[in-house]
Amino acid sequence: MPISHPTLTAPSLQPRYVSRFSCLGPSCEDNCCNEWRISLDKKTFDAYSAPTNGRLAKVVRINPAPRQDTDYGHIALDEAGSDCALLEEKLCSVHRDHGEGALSHTCFTFPRVSTEVAGQSEHALELSCPEAARLALLAPDAFEFEEGSMTARPEVVKAVQANPGFSADAVNEVRYFCINLMRAQELELWQRLAVLGLFCESLDGPVARKDGEAMVALVAQFTSLLEDGALIDSLAPLQPDHAAQAMVFSALFESIPRATNRQVRRQVIEAVGAGLGADAGSGQVSAERVVESYRAGIARLPEALAAAPHLLEHYLLNEMFVRLFPFTAEAPFDSFLRLMTRFGLLRLMLAARCNTEGPLPDANGLALTVQVYSRLFHHNASLGQTIDEALRKGGWARLDKLFTLLRT
């Protein structure tokens, strides 16, 4: 099959776990070719759909107009509506017969995320891949940043220029301050998030004014406040509101589509439902029962996390690095709201899994919960926007309200 996608290889900034990644192939417990619409770029679609390609031509479908060259068609699922029709014994027949150069951009890239930020190449992985999730979440040194090598197709490298009015140095100084704040082991995780929220709220003004100098000055100001301890002392009166956490995030969790034929995903989803007190038959649960179940689970969560002490921190770090936080939305505070939404939903699922009469989930079980959550949620942009808007309409898009959702 005459198709070739050129690649480029460049030095890249990446977390250490990236260099350790290798696809598990048929031994992966949650194959990425299962229950996903597999997009085809136009070049790949044209090659696959040639009449001489027999089976390949029979399983590709063109997308409705208007189409983009990067998302021109897709591969049909098999008769069961579960797996990619080109899988054979859990292996990709295209890769086997024609090599990785014949793969679509989607299949060649996942779970890798390649970005060019003001001339700097960056490389990370999506946690919706089970092996990527284990490597990123469980190794203590997973988020030691180092220079690695990134091989990618130029068409799918997300090129991000410094915002108009901001130098690359100013953008990176803000990004690295946020990332280093999340790695500050002397602070509890909720304290790091609280400071991050305060910083993003303060950053809204300079970003709106396109004032790069003020951005850098704000980094220096918050660095000083953290060093003298006054800012952390001011957070001491904040108390957890488990009832609010349970009600807000369980309501948001209900909006996530959870139907699946995949056993590993179904087991996690059912365990979360049971941990929130849902009836096994109807799935219904009262508000009082949700709050009671969440309180029981959140009380046991630290015991479970002792087996994976970096899990929540590393989840947040990966989100921040991959999504270019806090420049993922028009305003930095909107980026913080989005991060808080994802953190709160994940914490709810982990707490629910800890509300059990059986043994607590081990490190692999916790990482698998993150992976299933990422698969259900992170690749659905419209769902994320809907959930963010629901928080705003509910009056939660204010720092004083969000603070009640932080501490556990």
Distance between CA atoms of 127 and 316, rounded to whole angstroms? 11
pLDDT of residue 203: 97
Domain-embedded: residue 190 = yes
Per-residue pLDDT reduced to its tens digit, 162-220: 555 688 888 989 999 999 999 999 999 999 999 999 999 999 999 999 899 999 999 99
Residues 366, 276 within the same domain: yes
How far is Cα of residue 130 from the mean position of the Cα atoms in its chain?
Answer: 12
According to DSSP, the residues that pair with 12 across neighbouring strands are: 148
Share of the chain above pLDDT 90, in %: 69
Distance between CA atoms of 77 and 129, rounded to whole angstroms? 19
Spatial CA neighbour of 134 closest among 31, 34, 21: 21
Domain-embedded: residue 213 = yes
pLDDT of residue 23: 92
Residues 36, 140 within the same domain: yes
Res. 231 pLDDT band, cuts 50 70 90: very high
Residues 37, 172 within the same domain: no
Share of the chain above pLDDT 70, in %: 98
Q: What is the DSSP string of 212-263?
A: HHHHHHHHHHHHHHHHHSHHHHHTTT----HHHHHHHHHHHHTTS----S-H
Residues 201, 58 within the same domain: no
Residues 134, 35 within the same domain: yes
- Predicted confidence (pLDDT) at residue 90 exceeds the cutoff of 90: no
209, 234, 259 — which closes off a domain? 234
Residues 223, 251 within the same domain: no
pLDDT of residue 165: 66
Domains in the chain, number: 3
224 vs 78: which has the higher pLDDT? 224
126 vs 70: which has the higher pLDDT? 126
Domain-embedded: residue 259 = yes
Residues 299, 317 within the same domain: yes
Distance between CA atoms of 5 and 103, rounded to whole angstroms? 8
The most confident of the ranges 30-39, 76-85, 174-183, 207-216 is 174-183
pLDDT of residue 299: 97
- Predicted confidence (pLDDT) at residue 352 exceeds the cutoff of 80: yes
Q: What is the DSSP string of 111-128?
A: TEEEEEETTEEEEEE-TT
Res. 363 pLDDT band, cuts 50 70 90: very high
- Predicted confidence (pLDDT) at residue 381 exceeds the cutoff of 90: no
Residues 228, 302 within the same domain: no
Residues 258, 393 within the same domain: yes
For residues 337-352, give the mean pLDDT: 96
pLDDT of residue 63: 94
pLDDT of residue 2: 62
Per-residue pLDDT reduced to its tens digit, 11-26: 999 999 999 999 998 8
115, 134, 160 — which closes off a domain? 160
Domain-embedded: residue 91 = yes
Tokens of 377: 């949620």
Per-residue pLDDT reduced to its tens digit, 120-178: 899 999 999 999 999 999 999 999 999 999 899 988 898 776 555 688 888 989 999 99
Residues 19, 93 within the same domain: yes
Domain-embedded: residue 1 = no
Distance between CA atoms of 305 and 360, rounded to whole angstroms? 10
Spatial CA neighbour of 326 closest among 213, 207, 246, 230: 207
pLDDT of residue 169: 86
Tell me the pLDDT of the chain averaged across its residues: 92
- Predicted confidence (pLDDT) at residue 3 exceeds the cutoff of 80: no
Which structural domain, as residue segments, surrounds residue 106? Answer: 8-160
Domain-embedded: residue 399 = yes
Residues 96, 147 within the same domain: yes
Domain-embedded: residue 3 = no
pLDDT of residue 281: 76
Domain-embedded: residue 408 = no
Three-state SS for 359? Answer: coil
65 vs 119: which has the higher pLDDT? 65
Distance between CA atoms of 273 and 386, rounded to whole angstroms? 22
110, 136, 160 — which closes off a domain? 160
81 vs 156: which has the higher pLDDT? 156
Residues 175, 141 within the same domain: no
How far is Cα of residue 204 from the mean position of the Cα atoms in its chain?
Answer: 23
